[in-house]
Amino acid sequence: MAKFEEIGTASIPGLGGELRLLQRNDEFSIRIAGKAGELMNTRLHGSEDALAELACKRLADRPGVRVLVGGLGMGFTLAAALKALGEDAEVVVAELVPGVLDWNRGPLGDAAGRPLDDPRTRISLGDVGELLRRDPDGFDAIMLDVDNGPEGLMRRENDWLYSPRGLAAAQQALRPEGVLAVWSAGQDPAFSERLRRVGMLVEEITVRAHRPGKGAKHRIWLAY
């Protein structure tokens, strides 16, 4: 079997760390330099698709919806949101790492169907938490796939996003009857309780990294 070869690196702002983009034939992997394992893989995106599908399902009958995808990654959540929403929708994608945008515009883009080229896509380069704070009542749905979920791997700043204050900011950024959807690599009962403490109703859904019904079990929270 062919081996992965590194085809790009990207600095993580504010951390000093680095992401690595690797390719093996038509398969891509993103990893953190100096750490074992991978953050994401183009063959294992079932749970990223589900994050958008579950959130956008509640918006199917609404005209002119505006949604936020926090974390571009490999573009699969963005692509799934665009597929689920109408032609009058606007999908804002917030990405912290400029290099990840470059990868999605370049060699990685075909894997998800180049969703950045969709005219409904708007790009916000920077911290998704800052975007939430400056855009109250701005979104019908917020989909967060940042770091590794509430138990992050990369940035201490992400702890704020999943804290009571960060969740309250997300709640305030939702329009009436909006939905917050959060992806995680695993279960986190304490996070479920934090969502309830800010006054949200919570659903916890187990999804698979690879469809149908295969791969690691990931968790998605839907909060209203």
Domain boundaries, the chain: 43-223
Do 21 and 30 contact (CB within 8 A), yes or no? yes
The reported pLDDT for the residue numbered 206 is: 94
The reported pLDDT for the residue numbered 35 is: 83
Q: What average pLDDT does this structure show over 42-62? A: 93
pLDDT digits (tens, 9 = 90+) for 130-173: 999 999 999 999 999 987 678 654 545 567 888 999 999 999 99
- CATH hierarchy code of domain 43-223: 3.40.50.150
Count of Cβ atoms closer than 10 Å to residue 87 Cβ: 7
Q: Measured between alpha carbons, how far is 90 from 37 in angstroms, rounded to an integer?
A: 34
Residue with tokens 């690196």: 9
Q: Measured between alpha carbons, how far is 141 from 133 in angstroms, rounded to an integer?
A: 15
The reported pLDDT for the residue numbered 168 is: 94
Do 85 and 120 contact (CB within 8 A), yes or no? yes
64: left (phi over 0), alpha (psi -120 to 50) or beta: left
Consecutive H or E run containing 189: helix 189-197
Task: Indicate the range of 71-80, 108-117, 184-193 predicted with least confidence.
Answer: 184-193
The reported pLDDT for the residue numbered 155 is: 46
The reported pLDDT for the residue numbered 105 is: 98
Q: Report DSSP state, residue 147.
A: B
The reported pLDDT for the residue numbered 112 is: 98
The reported pLDDT for the residue numbered 153 is: 47
pLDDT digits (tens, 9 = 90+) for 61-72: 899 999 999 999
Inter-helix orientation angle 46-57/76-84, to 10°: 30
Which residues in the chain belong to E strands, given as ranges? 5-11, 18-24, 27-32, 40-41, 66-70, 90-95, 121-125, 139-144, 174-184, 202-210, 214-223
pTM as predicted: 0.93
**What is the band of 116 on the pLDDT scale with cuts at 50, 70, 90?**
very high
Q: Measured between alpha carbons, how far is 59 from 53 in angstroms, rounded to an integer?
A: 10
Inter-helix orientation angle 164-172/189-197, to 10°: 50
